[in-house]
Amino acid sequence: AVAMAEGEGLVSVDYEVSGKVQGVFFRKYTQREAKRLGLVGWVQNTSHGTVQGQIQGPTARVRELQEWLRKVGSPQSCISRADFSNEKEITALEHKEFQILK
């Protein structure tokens, strides 16, 4: 992952997605998309019907997943909004992989 990140900083960003995002395999598709982009972090359902998590990786790839969370999601989902917060540059990835948390 070090070579991939050369010349491009790593960022960490938290997200929360609202809409019809629970019970529609949203977490599984998010994990799949994150892995495809080579990102790490996590995703989980919240008690108030949203999906939240954290993404870490090269800035451009993180931006791709942010767009995906905003506009695409899983096939059955209906995203009303995606909020991103706590964005910061990091020197190293804090997660080993992209996990679905219970």
3-state secondary structure of 58: strand
Which residue in 65, 53, 63 sits closest to 95, CA to CA?
Answer: 53
Residue 45 appears among annotated catalytic residues = yes
Q: Which residues pair with 88 in a beta bridge?
A: 12
Query: Of 32, 36, 45, 86, which one is the catalytic site residue?
Result: 45
Q: Report the 10 Å Cβ neighbour count for 14.
A: 15
The residues annotated as belonging to the active site are 27, 45
